[in-house]
Amino acid sequence: MKFYTGPEDLKDVIERYIVIGNDMAVYYLNNRKVSIPNFTEEQREEIKKITLSAGGRAVRSPAFFIPEILTYRRSYGIILKGIFNNWRLYKMSIFKLDPAFKDYIWGGTRLRDEYGKKCDYDKVAESWELSCHKDGPSVVADGEYKGLTLNEYIEKAGKGVLGKNCERFENFPILIKLIDAKDNLSVQVHPDNDYAMRVEGEYGKTEMWYVVDCDEGATLLYGFKHEITKEEFARRIADNTLLEVTNAVPVKKGDVFFIKSGTLHAIGKGILIAEIQQNSNTTYRIYDYGRVGKDGKPRELHVNKALDVTKLAPAEQYPETPVEKKDGYDIKLLSKCEYFTTYRVNVETKAELDADENSFNSILVLEGEPVISGGETVSAKKGESVFISAGTGKYTVEGKCTFVLTKID
């Protein structure tokens, strides 16, 4: 999103946008200032009606815009001096992101070898594809904002790029990763928001996993086989018999697991996962197979905190949802909660989607090389992440591909 701070700055875009507002406006016709009217409420409603009927979109604040101006009014533009106390025109953004990387001891090399991730680590355990977290922010990879962290882009462009559904969150709400587990991850749990904010000073973590690929016979841990008591939980941690009561689940490509905060879980070896989660890095290790860290010492466990937050029962799985067939693609809801809504999209020819004023869209490409177009055009490939700002409106994804689509509802 680009800000234009005065009428003179708008000469290059007058023929591409209309912005209308409730305050004093400058009226242009054929790039020439004609008058400075005060619009009445009746006039504003009429202009709004024309704007929306022409494919424009209402946005937060008393403003409306048309990304592509009417063909029969190509030289007509209205510029708003509104609640921001200066002249602004919002230009919507579509761009790729470069991830941050983690080299945890259980990681493999598939993200570098198969997904083209540029990382010098011996082990590339995780790539943080959409992240504003201080422990690993992603960076704008192309376009006008290239080189800025995602946080810096949001600060410069304004929180309006996230959409009005993000207003309820103090911080950027989600974090999206690719995870390559060459070895088993620790048995672990994440706290809920109340506990995490009180004890750790950040969000808790509810998350979901989409199995991108896996070895034959791969399994993961997902809750307990049956309900147990807190005393039994503590005893089994102490005597290393915890795995006797955890629920080991065979997995295959395309499986989905919804992991509400408090759910015991562990990704098993040989699994590649796309993880959509709350914007948090708080994890309590319960059992770690006796491994040592890079310093040669046993990795820290967080038993007391785990005893506080773990739900000692079978996991609550998200209900199965149908595949919806569309013209040129199909789409399936994977999970929906207060923090994120995620879909799997398979495109045969072209998908027509919408990044409305309610939420940004995040695309994580799992297969193929799609071309994403919506005012701006971005080509992406397997493993790449694309951010589409709220208010961009209708956009297309062309070319045979599979991707995970995430937004905030």
pLDDT in tens, 181-219: 999 999 999 999 999 999 999 999 999 999 999 999 999
Question: In this structure, are residues 174 and 32 in contact, taking their beta carbons and an 8 Å threshold?
Answer: no
Distance of CA 183 to the CA centre of its chain: 26
* pLDDT digit string, tens, across residues 116-153: 999 999 999 999 999 999 999 999 999 889 999 999 99
Q: For residue 270, give both structure tokens.
A: 């040989």
Return the CATH architecture of domain 94-309: Sandwich (2.60)
Q: Is 323-407 a domain of CATH 2.60.120.10?
A: yes
Q: Is the pLDDT of residue 251 over 50?
A: yes
Q: Which phi and psi angles does 250 have, rounded to 5°?
A: -65, 145
The residues spanned by each domain of the chain are 7-80, 94-309, 323-407
Which pLDDT band, with edges at 50, 70 and 90, does 42 fall under?
A: low
Catalytic residues: 285
Tell me, what's the pLDDT at 293? Answer: 83
pTM: 0.80
- Asked if the domains at 94-309 and 323-407 fall in one CATH topology, the answer is yes
Give the C-alpha distances (Å, rounded to integers) separating 6 from 85, 127, 144.
11, 40, 19
178 has pLDDT over 80: yes
Least confident range from 19-28, 208-217, 267-276, 285-294: namely: 19-28
31/25 Cα distance (integer angstroms):
15
pLDDT over threshold 80, residue 407: yes
Residue 110 φ then ψ, to 5°? -65, -35
Average pLDDT for the chain? 83
DSSP per residue over 394-407, as a string?
A: EEEEESSEEEEEEE
- What's the CA gap between 171 and 169, in Å, rounded? 5
- Lowest mean pLDDT across 40-49, 56-65, 286-295, 352-361: 56-65
